[in-house]
Chains A and B, each alone.
Chain A
Amino acid sequence: MITEDPEELKNNTSSANIAAKDKTMAVEAQVERFSRLNRVLHILMIVSFISLALTGMTLKFSYTGWAAFLSGLFGGFEFAGYIHRFSAVIMFIVFISHIIDLIRIKQKEKKSFKEFLFGSSSMLFNKNDLKDFIGSLKWFIGLGGRPEYGRWTYWEKFDYFAVFWGIFIIGSTGLTLWFPEFFTQFMPGWVINVTTIIHSDEALLATGFIFTIHFFNTHLRPEKFPMDIVIFSGRVPLEEFKLDRPQEYKELVEKGELEKYLVEPYQPIVIRTIKIFGWTALTIGFSIIIWIIYAMLFAYR
């Protein structure tokens, strides 16, 4: 349906500048996918999430040797607790910043609520996602080709709302554990026991999901292996973008907005820094998974 001929693309972009650029450095043309704020928020999210996971897991799996070791590394349990609560605050700030950003974007782009919520760049699920999901399943079992994914795929939207849900559930139960004296003024004491279980198991779900499913979906699936740094750099090579997000590419070309998103790639030093950070986060994440599996299989009680 879409012609992926680069010559045609050049023509379609109808910009001599781009065309000239393309001739000399076609490989290097990149499309900006994430705003600077979103990148910063995601980095903050990674740091706070990993801190929360590490400090929280020491408590959840306190009966393992690893827990005691890590707790010591954080300067003892008491300090680990401070780190946990500090990271939680960061996470809340990230969450609130994102909401404020959304409102700002809506105002800036002067979109109606309907457009904002159900448009192609909205994170909300829509009919297209169902189509893509079915299309994907078909593709998986060999009944069709790769669906033409748009700005956001359904699994990305799922991850996004998982975080929404997670912050709500883990955050609210976490507050009851942080301030039990306050909450027991209008709740029975056993609610704290219940919120402990919810907080702990929801955190296990979040950690497990992020460090396995999310890691696979974004970094480990063979076409991105070993990692996709787009969330840090915010940009993907145009070539890759065309293949990965054909629907979005098509829309941008149709609207003639592609040029707006074309940017130059980062310096190698920036990319290297990003990769070091990415590797660190990945390593910690996988370590936590190994630790969780170990604790569940060999030391569970």
Chain B
Amino acid sequence: MYRRVRYDKPEKIFIINFLNIFLIFLLTPSLYSQDNSDCLMCHEDNSLTGTRNGKTISVFVNEKKLSSSVHSDIDCISCHVDLEGMDAHDENVEKAKCNFCHDDIQAKYDKSLHGKALAKGDRLAPGCQDCHGSHDIIPVKNSKSKVAPINIPGLCGQCHKEGSTVQLQRNIPQTHILENYSESIHGEGLLKKGLIVTATCASCHTAHDILPHTDPKSSIARRNIANTCAKCHAEIEQVHRKVIKGALWEKEANVLPACVDCHQPHEARKVFYDQGMADQDCLGCHNQKNIKASNDDRSLFVDYNGIKDSRHANISCSQCHSQVSPSHKRPCDSIIQKVDCTSCHAAVGEEYQLSTHGKLNAENDPNAPVCSECHGTHEVLGKNNPISPIFPINIPSLCAKCHREGESATVRYKGTEFNIIKNYTESIHGKGLMKSGLTVTATCTDCHTAHRELPHTDSLSSINPVNIPSTCGNCHHGIQEQFEKSIHSPKISNTDKELPTCEDCHTAHKIIRADSEGFKLKIMDQCGRCHEAISETYFDTYHGKVSQLGYTKTAKCYDCHGAHDILPIENPSSHLNRKNIVETCQKCHSSANRQFAGYFTHATHHDPEKYPWLFWTFWGMTGLLLFTFVIAGVHTILWLPRSLQWRRELKRRKLNNLNKNDNIDPHDNRRS
């Protein structure tokens, strides 16, 4: 009762309470609140246990660790606020609160995936302590910190490694995150090379406001990815102008591929970022078979299954048809330009623009082929698919669409190559490709390149005489090596004269086997185009004469001089060097000797200086011929009239003989 009476006067109570509080603060605060030592009196016992949520846990606090932690100056009750003022406390103690000091971080966390899960009571959701620890939190710069960059993958991996409960039971669209990361360039930098400024999990996902990529506010949301990556890769935009046209960065950033479209997160991208226009939005109309363009009635039907098999299976419609406006009722009504493949294939596009095809296209020439004419539109199949128009076996017929005799390109063409397709088909390359199905044989694009076709007069052209050896050498490497050491290579011979290249002997499109009869016989003319005098004298000798009659087993230019490895005679490696020539002759004349090799294979009897023996033998023989024929000829011509006379005489004589009146002696008649 006493108490009740006393408390009946509120002013009195207020004053008393005020004084009490004042005294507590002013005089003996330590007497009234717990000191850390108060807590440690019990909690320094390392066998002390308690229970939380029915589980027995250790409630030992290591004073040493606490005193070296970032929180060493903080009282226990600053975090364990629910225990303030309690001498002793029961078992169900709340978790320490961080938000009194770290309220901004707490706010982020609360909105994050982890925070929301925790709020929902998800027992797998991590709280502050799960990552940062409790009494032993040390500075993040200390490499022993649980959240030091070097430790983060391991930390996150505790829950996000393959086989963990989180990975198994929660909807995580990525798999093998930790393994993939550790093999990625970032992971390798961090874990193998100790580069702590490289990207860790938290660099991309942030530390506390981790959100799913579907959340527009997420650091890994499609539209934010570039910024996220650019935190480290600041100048990445410059680097990617080669791949992505610069103007698009500003104008149509939304349709550009995100970093992860090409650089898969962790390692392999399994999720497609279906944002902006989804394919399904387009197919709403375009999978109707009868859909047609209003202006020219061309079908606008898109066979989606065809796309699914194409190289662009993972590219959404709007990435190519980039002018769509998702906000419009008909998003495609803003499309006014054709698909520009160079948004992604910028390097190829630059090559194409250099090419004759590209130049014609720039002039709006209707004959100029564009990307889709060779590669197709929606069904871009790539070069490894046998039904693709750019599969090696199909390339000649693809090019033939314009380059077959009579087609658009041949009408325009002013050069010297005709019947290109027919000749190619009958050539060794064409036969290999089209008859034997040898896909590694040379097709049109192997020599002319796929995108930078240029006339041979252009110094950038793959078929420019200077570049031909390396073009052919792409496949015929060994021959290129030989050729480039030979006298015909511009690398060896410094001359103003035109040097031969592969094509001069082998032709461009009519290439036949070098061991075929036609080639063997033709080669003498090929060499003779430049070596006119020497090839004529070759034809004056036995070898030349019989080869002219179509005999291929005889020595032709290359049998003695070599084919690709022609060297000056002074060169010790030359087939005709004194050291080697007998051996060269022995290829055919097995018992050839040094003197045998002295035979003049290019002899002419028209040169008294060089070949006096031959010259004088020839004129001696000619003199004998003329002398004999003149003497015999004159004798014969003089004889002719007498012989005619004699014939008449004989006839008369015969008649007389028949008439039994044969008293005439022609000899006597003339002699007496």
Contact = CB atoms under 8 A, between A and B. Distances in A.
Q: A and B, one complex?
A: yes
Interface of A: 1-6, 26, 58-60, 62-63, 67-68, 71-72, 76-78, 80, 136-137, 139-141, 144-146, 148, 155, 177, 180-181, 184-185, 187-190, 192-194, 196-198, 201-202, 204-205, 208-209, 212-213, 216-217, 221-223, 225, 239-240, 243, 246, 301
Nearest to A187: B595
Given A71-B550, A181-B592, 10 more contacts: A59-B542, A62-B544, A67-B548, A77-B550, A78-B551, A180-B596, A184-B592, A193-B541, A198-B621, A213-B636
Given A194-B613, A239-B657, A205 B599 contact: no
Contacts of A4: 662, 664-665, 667-668
Contacts of A201: 618, 621-622, 624-625
B617 A145 contact: no
A181 B596 contact: yes
A76 B670 CA distance: 57
A212 B624 CA distance: 16
B539 interface: yes
Contacts of B541: 193, 196
B617 A197 contact: yes
Looking at B546, B590, B628, B632, the one whose CB has the most chain A CB atoms below 10 A away is: B632
Interface in B596-611: 596-600, 603, 605, 611
Contacts of A222: 640, 643-644, 646-647
A76 B554 CA distance: 13
Contacts of B614: 190, 193-194, 197
A48 B289 CA distance: 85
Contact of B549 (A67, A197, A209, A243): A67
A148 B546 contact: no
Given A213-B633, A221-B639, A222-B647, A76 B550 contact: yes
11 contacts: A59-B545, A62-B544, A67-B549, A72-B550, A77-B549, A78-B551, A145-B671, A181-B596, A192-B599, A202-B621, A208-B625
B629 interface: yes
Contacts of A189: 595-600
B308 interface: no
A4 to B, nearest CB: 4
Contact of B536 (A140, A239, A301): A301
Interface in B552-599: 553, 589-593, 595-599
A62 B592 contact: no
B667 A1 contact: yes
B435 interface: no
Contacts of A184: 592-593, 595-596, 598-599
Chain B, interface residues (CB within 8 Å), range: 35 or more
Query: Which interface residue of B541, B542, B605, B635 has the most chain A CB atoms within 10 A?
Result: B635
Contacts of A1: 667-668, 671
A155 B599 contact: no
Nearest to A139: B642
B625 A221 contact: no
Contact of B603 (A26, A193, A204, A208): A193
A212 B544 CA distance: 30
B596 A197 contact: no
Contacts of A136: 639
B464 to A, nearest CB: 36
Contact of A145 (B548, B550, B611, B669): B669
B654 interface: yes
A6 B621 contact: no
B654 A62 contact: no
Given A140-B639, A190-B598, A213-B636, A181 B591 contact: yes
Nearest to A142: B642
A205 B595 contact: no
Contacts of A243: 650, 653, 666
A77 B624 CA distance: 29
A181 B595 CA distance: 9
A263 B653 CA distance: 23
Interface string B299-331: 000000000000000000000000000000000
Q: Which 8 A/B pairs are nearest by Cβ-Cβ distance?
A: A145-B670, A189-B598, A201-B621, A77-B551, A140-B638, A189-B599, A184-B596, A62-B545
Given A62-B548, A146-B667, A222-B646, A209 B657 contact: no
B657 A6 contact: yes
Contact of B617 (A77, A194, A223): A194
B457 interface: no
Contacts of B641: 140
Given A197-B621, A198-B621, A221-B640, A239 B654 contact: yes
Contacts of B635: 155
Contacts of A26: 657
A212 to B, nearest CB: 8
Contacts of A59: 542, 545-546, 549
A290 B624 CA distance: 21
A209 B614 CA distance: 23
Nearest to B627: A205
Nearest to B551: A77
Contacts of A213: 629, 632-633, 636
B550 A181 contact: no
A246 B550 contact: no
B663 interface: yes
B595 A198 contact: no
Nearest to B671: A145
B635 to A, nearest CB: 7
Given A146-B667, A222-B646, A301-B536, A181 B589 contact: yes
Contacts of A212: 629
Nearest to A195: B617
Contacts of B628: 205, 209
B663 to A, nearest CB: 7
B618 A197 contact: yes
